[in-house]
Amino acid sequence: MRLSRFYLPLLKETPSDAEIVSHRLMLRAGLIRQMSAGIYSWLPLGHKVLRKIEQIVREEQNRAGAIELLMPTLQSAELWRESGRYDAYGKEMLRITDRHEREMLYGPTNEEMITDIFRKSVKSYRQLPLNLYHIQWKFRDEVRPRFGVMRGREFLMKDAYSFDLDPVAARRAYFRMFVAYLRTFARMGLKSIPMRAETGPIGGELSHEFIVLAETGESQVFCHRDLVELPAPGEDVDNDSDLETQMAHRLSLYAATEDKHDEAAFNALPEGKRMSARGIEVGHIFNFGQKYSKPMNAKVTGPDGTDVYVEMGSYGIGVSRLLGAIIEASHDDAGIIWPEPVAPFDLAILNLKHDDAKTQGACETLYAGLTKSGIDVLYDDTAERPGTKFAAADLIGLPWQLIIGPRGLEKNEIEVKNRRTGAREMMSPEAALNRFAHKV
């Protein structure tokens, strides 16, 4: 993509109403624009990142055996009356009346709808286990939308729903998602720590929030320090007994959000292992048994011929919130530093003298060569001064910058800068092409 033909409206001024760094950087780097309180447009650069995050989430859900579908954003109030949540949900739910005076709502979550889909066609235990998910916009009329996409009113969520015959199978489904979440966030360059959590309006017994540590996080969390370094289980951990072993170890280490915090248990940890910090909730999983299947009559026939209400769980990831969380975890004074798997482009080419034929020729050759080999390049071919180009490239935070100017080209050299480390290396354009053309 040539920057001269792209739409990248950068802001020179730091927006004064943005309180946290990720919100400021998302506005300045032209990722989002606010349309009304807590409602954003995703500009091209932000949209690319959103889709990359979504795709990682999708791949890990699919790997864990969940199946994608797509439910609508608008739901009928009738379904929510069946579970009793239409009245219970309160003002966070945006209620809408259509032209026929039918009561509708903009879905804040989908337990009722998925249970309805399930009960209409699943009748036998042989069709279980089943885990269905979608990635869809939600609306919650938050009292105080803030921190940009971190706490919006309209936001993109991945929500999965598991159906099992009995509590043992449901627990297994829960652990599968648990591990899938660790892998998902690790792929985005994030360290997430699962914490015991309150079940809130979703209800149920077992629940974990996945927290990314950040000073600006809204949640206060307490945990055993070892959890921070514990890697996500590898793909070899695939059968149920391995899963149980890994989970047993993790669950034995103290980790709780403020609501579930047990001061005595925490204080019993060795001094050096006690960690208390702020964090951002990027995912939340629940096992709630028959809370919805019972009132909504979602039953299957078991192996012995009797009907049982299915055991359910739900599993959310804040896809749009993740952009904010990643930036909170990965930035410096100059701007965003995207982890490679979620970067909007793989690298930038900076043409330092756009009206110089030789420089232009070298840039065009590299641009064509890299693009041909599948690298997604943002080529700054504009007439801006070098200083402006450097600042813009650092602000938008692509992992690599190939800096090309007449002085270097006299020695057949260009500069390759790593955005994260700041390390710079001189090499020939051919060497740069070779180096990056083999990266994907």
Nearer to ligand ADP, 155 or 367 (CB): 155
Question: Distance between CA 386 and CA 57 in Å, rounded?
Answer: 37
Measured in whole angstroms, the distance separating CA 258 from the mean position of its chain's CA atoms is 23
Tell me how far, at minimum, the Cβ of 357 lies from Mg ion, in Å: 57
Q: Which residues bind ligand ADP (CB under 6 A)?
A: 109, 140, 142, 151-152, 155, 157, 200, 281-284, 316, 318, 320-321
Nearer to ligand ADP, 23 or 419 (CB): 23
Q: Is 284 in the site for Mg ion (CB under 5 A)?
A: yes
Tell me how far, at minimum, the Cβ of 194 lies from ligand ADP, in Å: 12
Residue 278's SS3 state is strand
Q: Which does 321 bind (CB under 5 to 8 A by kind): ligand ADP, Mg ion, none?
A: ligand ADP
Minimal CB distance residue for ligand ADP: 318
Tell me how far, at minimum, the Cβ of 308 lies from Mg ion, in Å: 28
Amino acid, single-letter form, for residue 171: R
Question: Distance between CA 32 and CA 27 in Å, rounded?
Answer: 6
Q: Is 151 in the site for Mg ion (CB under 5 A)?
A: no
Minimal CB distance residue for Mg ion: 284
Cis link prior to 108 (omega < 30° from 0)?
no
Question: Distance between CA 362 and CA 381 in Å, rounded?
Answer: 12
Region binding Mg ion by CB under 5 A among candidate stretches 179-187, 283-291, 384-392, 398-406: 283-291
Nearer to Mg ion, 89 or 309 (CB): 89
Tell me how far, at minimum, the Cβ of 62 lies from Mg ion, in Å: 23
CB 354 within 8 Å of CB 380: no
Tell me how far, at minimum, the Cβ of 328 lies from Mg ion, in Å: 18
Tell me how far, at minimum, the Cβ of 111 lies from Mg ion, in Å: 13
- Distance of CA 198 to CAs 39, 204, 261, Å? 27, 9, 10
For residue 227, give every residue at least 6 positions away whose Cβ sits within 8 Å of its Cβ, in sequence order, or none.
Answer: 193, 250, 253, 255
DSSP string, 108-134: S--HHHHHHHHHHH--BGGG-SEEEEE
Q: Which does 152 bind (CB under 5 to 8 A by kind): ligand ADP, Mg ion, none?
A: ligand ADP
Judged by the rule CB under 5 A, the positions of this chain that interact with Mg ion are 284
